[in-house]
Structure 1
Amino acid sequence: MTLTVDLNADMGESFGPWGMGDDAALLGVVSSANIACGFHAGDWDTMATTMKLAVQNDVGIGAHPGFPDLQGFGRRRMHVPLDSLANLVRYQFGAAQTMARVNGGAVRHLKLHGALANMAAEDKAMALACYRAALEVDPDIIIMVLAGTQQNAAAAELGCRTACEIFADRAYNDDATLVDRSLSGSVIHDPERAGQRMLEMVRAGAIITESGAHIPTRIDTICLHGDTPTAVQIARSVRGTLESNGVTVTRFSGERL
């Protein structure tokens, strides 16, 4: 049986005259894009440009909502009441849908960003609030979840279309959460290492943690961060390593858990 997996990247993170990452190059490699919605990064012009490029490259478009934290790039934890959090997701998702539509595309998935994602990976109630809000906007949206976490459990409870994600450029704890960025080795910059570890995980059908533990999981998509300095090289290495070892890179279907 042929193994298949999607390759996604977080992008659309430039703001006004300040550039972040090389989205044009990444869109020539990945099969899905998670596009910032203007709260943790990005702006209306960046959203429009990135979505237009995604359509031109036949790359699946995803809304990537985060905390309202431009200075901290959405990577600082915030405590927001669940009702307000739901509105935060609805607001950003709606903006993404409109911007995709006027640029000839459509939003097919939603993925939480940064600290919002990390907190929802630990807190099922928080994940449920975010995902229910998105599903109210579009019941057919595919929810991209951090595999093996409370995000995964929330999507299973909701019975929604789901894509289970692992990371090429981040290290894992033994509970399937990501190693805190403040710790040494949490971010992986070496493209060759990123490619090999993704091949190992896809073949194993498991997250492999820093301790060497294996956490069995469905793996639908692999993520890399567009703001990582070696992001384009990592994307090319991951895709090249997978394809040269018989793994097909293609968009996820969003099957229910």
Structure 2
Amino acid sequence: MTDIVIDLNADLAEGYGRWILTDDEAMLSVVTSANVACGFHAGDPSIMRKVCDIAAERGVRIGAQVSYRDLAGFGRRAMDVPSDELADEVTYQIGALEVFARAAGAKVAYVKPHGALYNRVVADKEQASAVAAGTLLADPGLPVMCLPDSAMHLEAQRAGLEVISEAFVDRAYTAAGTLVPRGEPGAVITDPRQVAHRAVMLAREGRVTTQDGEPVHVQARSLCLHGDTPGAVGIARHVRAALDAAGVTLEAFA
């Protein structure tokens, strides 16, 4: 089999104070890139620092997972934020994480929107442009991780930013190549074997089966797992083992 190199990312640091949602240390033994919550949907300073420390120690790339300001809703509620305000909030979140990344001897290597913001910038050009502007202000060299051919993809490119296209191995897809909304049945896939199979198909063939059973093409440089899914660590290990067995090399994107 021809060797394929792909990144495996996960949403981490999604706790707050006494509430711990993700097993960050275990997940950081599996993934190659960590989408670190920056305090707006989850992630307090101590959690952010700890995840950066472990990620740097293990050679895992650190990404800023930026969100709408929505701690109560975990960043998954739709919000209307003026573009200039959103841009500033994106810059702010990246800056907060950069301090901890540098203290760990690393750096913020990319930016990825979270939750409702991620879904919004798939089609909303104005909000996507604001995320790009906020990223550009923080560091013009930061890539943006997003769905391929989305508004975010196009606006990031228009701003001169590199784009890291990603696919989700534990989320259901529509025929249009977008994610099935979380409120719908079957939107989140939790069977480890099914998730692992989807990961191999995405990595080796660039396609995934939609909720309706039809194939859809998704070319991605990174595959995403959600750290807050029940049994996330076991799912991640199944995915990594399946990719290894299929001749796929896991490595953070260059």
Smaller-chain TM-score bracket: over 0.9
Matched, 1:69 2:70: yes
Q: Counterpart amino acid of 1:135?
A: L
Instruction: State whether residues 149 and 175 of structure 1, in contact with CA within 8 Å, keep that contact through their aligned partners in structure 2.
Output: no
Mapping for residues 39-50 of structure 1, pairs under 5 Å: 39-50=40-51
Q: Counterpart amino acid of 1:96?
A: L
Instruction: State whether residues 40 and 70 of structure 1, in contact with CA within 8 Å, keep that contact through their aligned partners in structure 2.
Output: yes
Instruction: State whether residues 192 and 239 of structure 2, in contact with CA within 8 Å, keep that contact through their aligned partners in structure 1.
Output: yes
Q: Which position in structure 1 is the counterpart of 2:226?
A: 225
SS in 2 for 1:210: coil
| CA 1:214–1:132: 2 relative to 1, 3 Å | farther
Distance 1:235 1:37 in 2: 22
Q: Which position in structure 2 is the counterpart of 1:31?
A: 32
TM-score (norm 2): 0.95
Mapping for residues 35-184 of structure 1, pairs under 5 Å: 35-184=36-185
| CA 1:207–1:87: 2 relative to 1, 3 Å | farther
Q: After TM superposition, give the deviation of residue 156 of structure 1 in Å.
A: 3.2
Distance 1:210 1:25 in 2: 30
SS in 2 for 1:121: coil
Matched, 1:206 2:207: yes
Q: After TM superposition, give the deviation of residue 151 of structure 1 in Å.
A: 2.0
Instruction: State whether residues 9 and 226 of structure 1, in contact with CA within 8 Å, keep that contact through their aligned partners in structure 2.
Output: yes
Q: After TM superposition, give the deviation of residue 216 of structure 1 in Å.
A: 3.2
Q: After TM superposition, give the deviation of residue 161 of structure 1 in Å.
A: 1.5
Instruction: State whether residues 136 and 159 of structure 2, in contact with CA within 8 Å, keep that contact through their aligned partners in structure 1.
Output: no
Distance 2:215 2:229 in 1: 26
Q: Counterpart amino acid of 2:196?
A: G
Instruction: State whether residues 202 and 219 of structure 2, in contact with CA within 8 Å, keep that contact through their aligned partners in structure 1.
Output: no
Name the stretch that deviates more: 64-73 or 214-223.
Answer: 214-223
Q: After TM superposition, give the deviation of residue 152 of structure 1 in Å.
A: 2.2
Instruction: State whether residues 10 and 33 of structure 1, in contact with CA within 8 Å, keep that contact through their aligned partners in structure 2.
Output: yes
Q: Which position in structure 2 is the counterpart of 1:250?
A: 251
Distance 1:42 1:143 in 2: 20
Q: After TM superposition, give the deviation of residue 207 of structure 1 in Å.
A: 4.4
Q: After TM superposition, give the deviation of residue 104 of structure 1 in Å.
A: 1.6
Q: Counterpart amino acid of 1:111?
A: K
Q: Which position in structure 1 is the counterpart of 2:235?
A: 234
Instruction: State whether residues 201 and 208 of structure 2, in contact with CA within 8 Å, keep that contact through their aligned partners in structure 1.
Output: no
Percent identity between matched residues is: 43
Q: After TM superposition, give the deviation of residue 125 of structure 1 in Å.
A: 2.2
Distance 2:154 2:198 in 1: 25
Name the stretch that deviates more: 72-81 or 172-181.
Answer: 172-181
Unaligned runs of 5+ in 2: none
* Alignment deviations for residues 99-125 of structure 1 (CA, whole Å, 9 cap, x no partner): 111122100010000001100112122
Q: Counterpart amino acid of 1:17?
A: R
Cα RMSD (Å): 1.4
TM-score (norm 1): 0.94
| CA 1:196–1:109: 2 relative to 1, 3 Å | same
Distance 1:159 1:174 in 2: 29
Distance 1:4 1:16 in 2: 37
Distance 1:194 1:217 in 2: 15
* Alignment deviations for residues 211-238 of structure 1 (CA, whole Å, 9 cap, x no partner): 2444434310011111111111111111
Instruction: State whether residues 176 and 207 of structure 1, in contact with CA within 8 Å, keep that contact through their aligned partners in structure 2.
Output: no
Distance 1:152 1:70 in 2: 26
* Alignment deviations for residues 163-222 of structure 1 (CA, whole Å, 9 cap, x no partner): 111111111112222111111100011111000011112222234422244443431001
Segments ≥4 residues shifted beyond 4 Å: none
